[in-house]
């Protein structure tokens, strides 16, 4: 179904940012509901999905118009900004189309699984001379990670020396294979540890061990990723996509003066029937609900000229993809791989 010409649901009132959504799956639906019902100054004006019925259903729910083609949505005068929530392999081409149309874009992670595709997006943005892309690395907006970052430095736990990260899913999302685990899932840790420590990685190594009964033949799960930053901080990431018990993310930073850990701090402890404990969320949507909403509010505020620049850039997306690709080399070869980054263009300084 195409756009209904002459009957836009959302007029340009100059105060509302009208977002066009590409990809109406798990996260696209969550983002659309947040934008329509929880974020101020925003509306969802258009939805495209490769599955026309999905686009139609979500569009009806949030008061948007379903589009039959991504390019038409991106070019629509009723779309001020675009949110890309399609599968990983579609992000780069869609981001390039948004840049060509001059539309601000929030792109879900990863910017691209392939380094060369991520580079094309960065080069196009640099050529345009304007930062239009924000990456959906929403952990940068998570209250837990923000509190943890505040602990780093002289007044908290001193100089960080080692970071332990745990990232577990109940079962492999999208049937993730081991290498895709690095570009799709562990990419969150590649970004957030770099943000927490405010420095780049120098090397990466990936260890595999015994896999559990739910791991498909030929795949390796869990993975233990060990990075070293340029100043020598050790960053350890344990990724386990078939953990069965729930979704869990933990980050512990140990420094020269103490240690700080971020886990599931926002969940209550229930005591009943002889047991004391907490529910474990099944999905990222439960654990990071606040982060997703805060990220969207920040994006909309920035586009409305009300908020300070915040969030990850296309450059951050490119760096995370480079690190993930080096990690794939490390997984394949079993040896430690150096991480050499290209020079950061002035647009991103």
Give contact residues for ligand NAD (rule: CB under 6 A): 22-28, 48-51, 54, 70, 85-88, 90, 108-109, 136, 138, 184, 284
Name the nearest CA neighbour of 176 among 207, 220, 144.
220
Position closest to ligand NAD via CB: 25
Q: Rounded to whole angstroms, how far apart are CA atoms 316 and 135?
A: 8
Nearest approach, Cβ of residue 27 and ligand NAD (Å): 4
Residue with smaller CB distance to ligand NAD, 19 or 85: 85
Identity of the residue, 109 or 120, whose beta carbon is nearer to ligand NAD in the bound complex:
109
Question: What is the rounded CA–CA span in Å between residue 23 and residue 19?
Answer: 13
**Minimum distance from residue 117 beta carbon to ligand NAD (Å):** 13
Nearer to ligand NAD, 49 or 78 (CB): 49
Task: Decide: residue 51, CB within 10 A, 0-12 exposed, 13-18 middle, 19+ buried.
Answer: exposed
Please state, in angstroms and rounded to a whole number, the distance separating the CA atoms of residues 59 and 265.
34
Residue 20 or 255: the one with the smaller Cβ distance to ligand NAD is 20
Nearest-angstrom CA–CA distance, 49 and 117: 22
**8 Å CB contact between 84 and 98:** yes
Residue corresponding to tokens 């069965």: 244
Longest dimension (CA), the chain: 64
- Which one, 54 or 337, has the nearer CB to ligand NAD? 54
In whole angstroms, the minimum distance from the beta carbon of 180 to ligand NAD comes to 10
Block residue for tokens 């799956």? 25
The phi, psi pair for 16, rounded to 5°, reads: -105, 130
Residues 6+ apart with CB under 8 A from 23: 48, 49, 84, 85, 86, 87, 90, 108
| CB of 328 or CB of 337, closer to ligand NAD | 328
Closest separation between CB of residue 278 and ligand NAD, Å?
21
User: For residues 75 and 153, which CB has a smaller minimum distance to ligand NAD in the complex?
Assistant: 75
Q: How far is the CB of 269 from ligand NAD (least distance, A)?
A: 25
By the 8 A CB rule, do 81 and 303 touch?
Answer: yes
* Cα separation, 204 vs 225, whole angstroms: 7
CA distances to 83, 142, 183, 226 from 207, in Å: 35, 29, 16, 8
Nearer to ligand NAD, 122 or 157 (CB): 122
Task: For CA atoms 204, 210, 215, 219, give the dihedral sign.
Answer: positive
Toward ligand NAD, which CB reaches closer, 50 or 250?
50
Q: How far is the CB of 253 from ligand NAD (least distance, A)?
A: 21
Q: What angle do CA 295, 202, 153 make, to 5 degrees?
A: 55
Least distance in angstroms from the C-beta of 222 to ligand NAD:
19
Task: Give least dist CB 50 to ligand NAD, A.
Answer: 4
Min CB(286)–ligand NAD separation in Å: 12
């Amino acid at each position: 179904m195409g756009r209904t010409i002459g009957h836009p649901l959302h007029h340009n009132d100059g105060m509302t940012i009208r977002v066009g959504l590409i990809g109406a799956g798990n996260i696209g639906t969550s983002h659309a509901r947040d934008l329509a019902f929880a974020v101020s100054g925003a509306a969802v004006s258009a939805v495209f999905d490769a599955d026309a019925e999905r686009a139609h259903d979500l569009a009806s729910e949030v008061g948007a118009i379903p589009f039959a083609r991504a390019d038409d949505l991106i070019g629509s005068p009723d779309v001020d900004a675009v949110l890309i929530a399609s599968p990983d392999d579609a992000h780069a081409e869609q981001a390039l189309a948004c840049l060509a149309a001059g539309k601000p874009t929030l792109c879900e992670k990863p910017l691209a699984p392939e380094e060369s595709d991520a580079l094309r997006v960065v080069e196009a943005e640099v050529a345009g001379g304007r930062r239009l892309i924000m990456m959906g690395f929403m952990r940068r907006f998570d209250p837990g990670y923000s509190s943890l970052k505040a602990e780093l430095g002289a007044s908290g736990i001193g100089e960080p020396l080692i970071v332990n990260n745990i990232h577990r899913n109940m079962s492999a999302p999208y049937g993730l294979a081991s290498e895709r685990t690095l570009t799709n899932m562990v990419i969150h840790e590649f970004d957030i540890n770099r943000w927490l420590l405010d420095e780049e990685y120098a090397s990466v190594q990936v260890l595999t061990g015994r896999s559990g009964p739910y791991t498909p033949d030929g795949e390796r799960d869990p993975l233990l990723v060990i990075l070293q930053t340029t100043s020598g901080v050790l960053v350890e990431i344990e990724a386990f996509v078939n953990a069965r018990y729930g979704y869990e993310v933990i980050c512990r930073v140990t420094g020269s003066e103490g240690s700080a850990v971020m886990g599931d701090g926002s969940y209550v402890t229930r005591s009943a029937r002889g047991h004391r404990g907490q529910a474990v969320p099944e999905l990222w949507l439960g654990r990071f609900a606040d982060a997703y909403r805060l990220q969207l509010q920040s994006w909309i505020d920035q586009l409305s000229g009300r908020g300070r620049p915040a969030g990850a850039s296309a450059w951050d997306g490119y760096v995370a993809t480079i690190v993930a690709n080096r990690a794939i080399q490390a997984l394949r070869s079993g040896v430690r791989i150096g991480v050499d980054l290209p020079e950061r263009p002035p647009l991103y300084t």
